[in-house]
Chain A
Amino acid sequence: MFYREAGDFKTSYVDDNQTFPIKFDRYRYYAVLFVAFAIIPFVINDYWVNAVFMPFLIYSIAAIGLNILIGYCGQVSLGTGGFMAVGAYACYKFMTGIDIWWGGELLFRLPEFNIFFSVLMGGLTTALVGVLFGLPSLRIKGFYLAVATLAAQFFLVWVFNRVSWFYNYSASGQISAPEHHIAGVAITGPNADAWAMYLFCLVFVAFSAIIARNLTRGSFGRKWMAIRDMDIAAEIIGVDPLRAKLSAFAVSSFFVGISGALFFAVYLGAVEVGEAFGIQKSFLVLFMVIIGGLGSIFGSFAGAAFLVLLPVFLKNTLVGALGWPTDLAAHLEFMIVGALIIIFLIAEPHGLAQLWRVTKEKLRLWPFPH
């Protein structure tokens, strides 16, 4: 009944190569896009946008980015928080106009970028920084690399804390997003409407997902996966490890940077770097990738949704309905998240994405299995 290939004839190579080869899948995908773009913006309110949709969308981008690095290229990174901070601060500098100083004098100031391009530039800057911190991956492997990426995490956070140029010499050391508009609609700042922020993030999520999906299906993705499965063998069959690893770091950091920029500019509005982009954030995104499924774009969404909804759910049931104190609920959340990680690694190492794949296989045969 569902997911049948029968009757779905492909008559050209283009048909054969499309992202969703099964008709049902394709229509479902269009339906999701339609609901997300054309229906949700009209019905959501502030609470839903701030508690559920924005974190979900923003973390999805970060999870897609990290999934490319860990799930597709096999390079474990614990520096996600630091890279998100790079995206946020780069976006801030482009939003407010970059000032170049020389010998204590202001040389010149770039014009303020539009918020859309600021976010993009945030991503590109992060890609550069990511390549820089990805260089050691050519020598260091496995968890040695994981620990080495901690250097990025702590060093970057420290830099943004100490170098006042990054926060425009503000007294509090915080950065806060000024009001920016697209076509007259406020996207950032206190006057931004919920639906506008939602749509803005959604555009980035949709494009990130499409780009990531197609990159991982193409020659880039194959090279990454070859490196992941066995780097020496990949090298022997002609995959250049330098290019493959660094491109994975660049693409991954690009997405992570965009999510950091959105997290700061659109979602939070004002950010203190140690609080917003600390080591905890790195782990949160890592958990999303593990729970969602390593090596799956859909898994990144599933993992992000799961870990965004879990605290909301716990808070509503435990604190709201049962009247527990908040700190107790927070402790329980730690335990549940930790236990879930272990359970997923034991029972389903490929995460929610694998459950979805199994369900799809079942649905294909339903209602007549064999």
Chain B
Amino acid sequence: MPDQLLFAIEVTLNGLMAGVLYALVALGFVLIYKASGIFNYAQGVMALFSAATLVGIMNGDVPFSHLINAILGTDIHHFGWHVPAILAILLTMGVMIFLAWAVNRFVFKHLVNQEPIILFMATIGLAYFLEGLSDMMWGGDIKKLDVGLPQGINETIDEVTFNLFGYGFFIDNLDIVAAVVAVILVIALTLYSQYSKQGRALRAVADDHQAALSVGISLNYIWILVWSIAGFVALVAGIMWGAKSGVQFSLSLIALKALPVLMLGGFTSIPGAIVGGLIIGVGEKLFEFTLGGMMGGATENWFAYVLALVFLVFRPQGLFGEKIIERV
């Protein structure tokens, strides 16, 4: 095979892997949007927050240590212990559940029946708050996240492809793990929402709030539940992204990429989030590969948004979204 084609195939594969990571963040958006009609801009920051919390707990950092030191003049930083990864993940999940409760109790309980755009702006405020809180709790420096996921080039794929084509593909082990985790996550979520009692309640709420209330489903409980699940998805995404590029502020910007993914896939469709993520991931990598050099590079910064913009003009509800019906 010609070299260019091989390169293109490699780029496509890497794009697929990157797309899976976008899809992970987008998944959290879809869950919350379906259940509560809230377009949760803070999903990306939730990933950042959860990853920072995980690192903090694992390293045994004292939360708010900078603040405490500044106020009391003390000099404390660590508890002096290290928490194993599994336990730390469970503890972080606890924090995310608490966060879900707090968000519903203090923010969205007061915003019931507001217009969607008001709710959207409230989540932007929430994103800012969480960003500040994350830095306040654990410090603003770039943190290394290591929960024992394999990293680096996958030797087997490299060897097999080298023997086949005479050119070894470079594929990161972490990306493969991320893809597997994403597939498991989607299957688990689908099964959960299809067959469990809470899952049915979840779908009922997504269908019609009033009707769900009238058959005795507690909206409050469902919302906390769905924010917790979104928190869990954010934690998974945070671990993957954090292991890949370190836990830092730009994590929340990468998560912005989940927005065009959603627009492609449609706000209300879980498969849509996955397909949209893959299209964006492959699209931006291939575009950079073919035309990026000619245009001065770094086209990944905007390609996803422009693609989504062009796409939306022709199909405003996205690939799998429900048809938008407007009534006066």
Interface of A toward B, CB cutoff 8 Å: 76, 136, 139-144, 146-148, 150-151, 153-155, 157-158, 161-163, 230, 232-233, 236, 279, 283, 286-287, 290, 322-325, 327-328, 331-342, 345-346, 349
Contact = CB atoms under 8 A, between A and B. Distances in A.
A4 to B, nearest CB: 35
Contacts of A339: 125, 129
Interface in B72-128: 107, 110-111, 114, 116-118, 120-122, 124-128
Which DSSP category, helix, strand, loop or mixed, fits chain B's interface?
Answer: helix
Interface residues of B, number: 50
B301 A148 contact: no
Contacts of B253: 279
Given A136-B312, A158-B301, A333-B132, A150 B256 contact: yes
A148 B309 contact: yes
B136 interface: yes
Given A158-B301, A338-B131, A339-B125, A148 B312 contact: yes
B132 A334 contact: yes
B135 interface: yes
Nearest to A70: B117
10 contacts: A136-B312, A139-B312, A140-B313, A142-B117, A147-B259, A163-B296, A287-B125, A328-B67, A331-B140, A338-B130
A332 B120 contact: no
Interface of B: 39, 66-67, 70, 107, 110-111, 114, 116-118, 120-122, 124-133, 135-136, 140, 253, 256, 259-260, 262-263, 295-299, 301-302, 305-306, 308-309, 312-313, 316, 326-328
Contact of B306 (A155, A327, A334): A155
Contact of A341 (B117, B128, B135): B128
Contacts of A346: 107, 110-111, 122
A290 B125 CA distance: 10
A68 to B, nearest CB: 16
A88 to B, nearest CB: 18
A155 B124 contact: no
A155 B308 CA distance: 13
Contact of A144 (B66, B302, B312): B312
A233 B111 contact: no
A335 B125 contact: no
B316 A151 contact: no
Given A144-B263, A233-B328, A333-B132, 17 more contacts: A76-B120, A147-B308, A148-B305, A151-B309, A154-B301, A154-B305, A232-B326, A279-B256, A286-B124, A328-B67, A331-B132, A332-B132, A335-B136, A338-B128, A345-B118, A345-B125, A346-B110
Most buried by B among A139, A146, A147: A147
A333 B133 CA distance: 10
B129 A147 contact: no
A233 B116 CA distance: 19
Contact of A143 (B70, B117, B125, B299): B117
B295 A151 contact: no
A106 to B, nearest CB: 22
A67 B130 CA distance: 26
Contacts of B295: 162
Contacts of B262: 147
Nearest to B262: A147
A346 B313 CA distance: 33
Contacts of B260: 147, 150-151
A155 B306 CA distance: 8
Given A154-B301, A155-B302, A144 B316 contact: yes
Contacts of A287: 124-125
Nearest to A74: B117
B117 to A, nearest CB: 6
A247 B259 CA distance: 27
A327 B301 contact: no
Most buried by B among A236, A322, A332, A333: A332
B114 A349 contact: yes
Nearest to A349: B118
A40 B67 CA distance: 39
A290 B262 CA distance: 25
B326 A154 contact: no
A139 B316 contact: yes
B70 A324 contact: yes
Nearest to A139: B313
A342 B308 CA distance: 29
Nearest to B134: A331
Contacts of B301: 154, 157-158
Given A148-B308, A331-B136, A342 B298 contact: no
A204 B89 CA distance: 54
Contacts of A139: 312-313, 316
B113 to A, nearest CB: 12
A245 B99 CA distance: 39
Nearest to A232: B328
A331 B312 contact: no
A342 B305 contact: no
Contact of A162 (B114, B127, B298, B308): B298
Given A162-B297, A163-B296, A341 B305 contact: no
Nearest to A344: B125
Contacts of B298: 158, 161-162
Most buried by A among B132, B133, B259: B132
B38 to A, nearest CB: 11
Given A154-B301, A342-B126, A142 B133 contact: no
Most buried by B among A143, A153, A323: A143
